[in-house]
Chain A
Amino acid sequence: MIVVEALILASLLAVLVRLAVGPTPWDRLLAANSAATRILLLMALLAILQDRTLYLDIAIVYAAISFLGIIIVARVMERSGGIR
């Protein structure tokens, strides 16, 4: 289980590199989306590992709020042509 968590943490760091160097704003947005998914999986793994069900509820709320943020930022960038 520790190996799985380390693998997802390394994947999160690689996605954050793409979020830092992405050439276009849409690259940064999709990297933020992928990073949110990986953080959510880390929360679920930690909930199973430490046997705390509360983290799963936090993961559900985090999924809903990150989805809302991604949709709003994508709509604003579609209207305004990207924030450079």
Chain B
Amino acid sequence: MIAWIFIGLGCAFLVVGTIGIVRFRDVYSRLQASGVSDNVGSTFLLLGLVLLDGLTARDAAILFLIALLVVTNPIATHSIAKSAFTNRHEEDGS
């Protein structure tokens, strides 16, 4: 039961982030929608997959995947934002 709550929460975060990526008008707004909701949504969804059945051998792989995503996703978002902010004068419109 609680696993499905986690999976539904992760799906809700991912869908809201997708709406933000498609509908926002600025690069930084889209980066904020993408970075925050992807990280939280994927963490909730994978935690729900861990809790779905009992303690099995594949839970270690999913937990390692959660740790990898939590470390690497903010670094990638920060790197894209720094790259866009450095070159902001040459940006036209949008």
Chain A interface (Cβ < 8 Å from any Cβ of B)? 4, 7-8, 11, 14-15, 17-18, 23-24, 26-27, 29-31, 33-34, 37-38, 40-41, 44-45, 47-48, 53, 56-57, 59-60, 63-64, 67, 70-71, 74-75, 77-78, 81-82
Contact = CB atoms under 8 A, between A and B. Distances in A.
What size tier do the contact residues of chain B reach?
35 or more
Contacts of A75: 79, 83
15 contacts: A11-B15, A17-B22, A27-B27, A41-B45, A48-B49, A53-B58, A56-B61, A60-B64, A63-B65, A63-B68, A67-B72, A70-B80, A74-B79, A77-B87, A78-B83
A37 B58 contact: no
Nearest to A7: B11
Given A17-B22, A70-B79, A24 B91 contact: yes
A47 B56 CA distance: 13
Contacts of A53: 57-58, 61
Interface of B: 7, 11, 14-15, 17-18, 21-22, 27, 30-31, 34, 38, 42, 45-46, 49, 52, 57-58, 61-62, 64-65, 68-69, 72-73, 75-77, 79-80, 82-84, 86-87, 90-91, 93-94
Contact of A4 (B11, B18, B80): B11
A24 B72 CA distance: 23
B17 A34 contact: yes
Given A31-B34, A33-B76, A82-B90, 9 more contacts: A15-B21, A33-B34, A44-B65, A48-B49, A53-B58, A56-B58, A60-B65, A70-B80, A74-B83
B62 A56 contact: yes
